[in-house]
Amino acid sequence: MLSTPVVPPHLTPEAFPAERFVLDCRGHRLDCRPGLPQGAHVMGILNVTPDSFYDGGRYTTVEAAVRRATEMVSEGAAVIDVGGASSRPRGTVYGEGARPLSPEEEIDRVRPVIEALAEHLPGVPISIDTYHPEVARAALEAGASLVNDITGLRLFPETAAVAAAFGAPLIVMHSLGRPGAMPHAHTYTDVVADVAGVLRAAVERAEAAGVRHVVVDPGFGFGKTPEENLRLLEATDRLLALERPVLVGVSRKSTIGAVLGTKTDPVPPSERLFGSLGATAVAVLRGATLVRTHDVRPTVELLRGLAAAAGWRAVADG
């Protein structure tokens, strides 16, 4: 069973055990202890889908995907997260939800991209954004280094065994329902405690299957109101009590649109960059060390400024 330690008042690397916070991504080392000089690592989003809410259709060819991944790495991305199936929810904000894909269709989209990325960017960890164990296996065979399960093992717990077999870290995210049909109304007793409890159970399930390194993601925007999303963001440090690295993905989400506009008239995804950066800063100051984003360069620059201002990194002379 996981312990429930008190979160230290100062986020310093020494306060967090390296055996849990320094990830071995199949040979790629990724130190995810809070308070490191870089503040956090950036995970660049690479959707090879025609229907993702922000960048759908831009990178559906292998050539376009490799160009975009190379660009993100040059901008400072530490990880590339490849997704072949959109999780765009059904509802008033995005209309029809994403079309469900079979594992075979998803594999056909992601495998050639991951093979090409592994060849062109051999020093960069590649994450596969999937909850299907068959897709995870095919991606890991093609050269992926991490598995990012947005259902937190709810739908296919066997995905954990696949990650374990390849020695890959597993990201478990809190969400409700099936991707593409996420419910928008749910009553939480205490959204932070409830989400933390679900993530705790997912971590235990993953480790029971043999996964060595697990990352937790509160699932900003998945089955939560804007107020609940913001409460989770503010309480990022409470999730560190799970003693696992925390990933946040706020990039251009509908809650950001509601904050910058209103719930009934949110600003469009194209105008949500600065709101996304502000939310990211709050999460990182509270201990998140992986940031999943569409906008790599602005996020990297934000993190550099934040790290210097917070005293994590000295400004170089000259």
Q: Write down the pLDDT at residue 57.
A: 59
Q: Tell me the C-alpha distance between 98 and 78, whole Å.
A: 28
The angle that helices 133-142 and 159-166 make with each other, rounded to 10 degrees, is: 20
Residue pair 65/112 in contact (Cβ under 8 Å)? The answer is no
Would residue 292 show up in a list of annotated catalytic residues for this protein?
yes
pLDDT at 251 over 90: yes
Q: Tell me the C-alpha distance between 30 and 25, whole Å.
A: 7
Q: Write down the pLDDT at residue 49.
A: 81
Residue with tokens 């989770």: 232
Residue pair 135/107 in contact (Cβ under 8 Å)? The answer is yes
Rg (Cα) of the chain, in Å, rounded? 18
Q: In CATH, which of 3.20.20.70, 1.20.120.1080, 3.40.50.300, 3.20.20.20 is domain 25-309?
A: 3.20.20.20
DSSP state of 271: G
**Secondary structure of residue 214 in the 3-state scheme:** strand
Cα four-point dihedral sign 170, 172, 178, 184: negative
Would residue 304 show up in a list of annotated catalytic residues for this protein?
no
Q: Write down the pLDDT at residue 11.
A: 75
**Secondary structure of residue 64 in the 3-state scheme:** helix
pLDDT at 1 over 50: no
Tell me the per-residue pLDDT of 275-302, one tens digit each, with 9 for 90 and over: 999 999 999 999 999 999 999 999 999 9
Q: Tell me the C-alpha distance between 120 and 125, whole Å.
A: 12
Residue pair 43/291 in contact (Cβ under 8 Å)? The answer is yes
* Average pLDDT for 90-96: 49
> What residue ranges do the domains of the chain occupy?
25-309
Q: What is the mean pLDDT of the chain?
A: 89
What distance, in Å, lies between the first and last C-alpha atoms of the chain?
50
Q: Write down the pLDDT at residue 317.
A: 46
Q: Write down the pLDDT at residue 271.
A: 95
Q: Which is the catalytic residue, given 292, 297, 304, 313? A: 292
Q: Tell me the C-alpha distance between 203 and 14, whole Å.
A: 22
pLDDT at 8 over 80: no
Q: Write down the pLDDT at residue 318.
A: 43
Confidence label for 310 from pLDDT (cuts 50, 70 and 90) = confident
Tell me the per-residue pLDDT of 137-193, one tens digit each, with 9 for 90 and over: 999 999 999 999 999 999 999 999 999 999 999 999 999 988 766 555 688 999 999
Q: Write down the pLDDT at residue 2.
A: 52
Q: Write down the pLDDT at residue 10.
A: 59
CB-neighbour burial class of residue 278 (10 A; exposed 0-12, middle 13-18, buried 19+): middle
Give the CA distances from residue 238 to residues 177, 194, 207, 234, 283, in Å, rounded to whole numbers and listed in that order.
Answer: 24, 12, 21, 9, 11
Q: What percent of the chain shows pLDDT beyond 90?
A: 75
Residue pair 151/171 in contact (Cβ under 8 Å)? The answer is no
Residue with tokens 């979160």: 7
Q: What percent of the chain shows pLDDT beyond 70?
A: 87
Which tokens hold the place of 172? 């478990």
Tell me the per-residue pLDDT of 23-82, one tens digit each, with 9 for 90 and over: 999 999 999 999 888 899 999 999 998 755 445 557 779 999 999 999 999 999 999 999
Q: Which is the catalytic residue, given 68, 88, 253, 286? A: 253
Q: Write down the pLDDT at residue 6.
A: 43
DSSP state of 291: E
pLDDT at 7 over 50: no
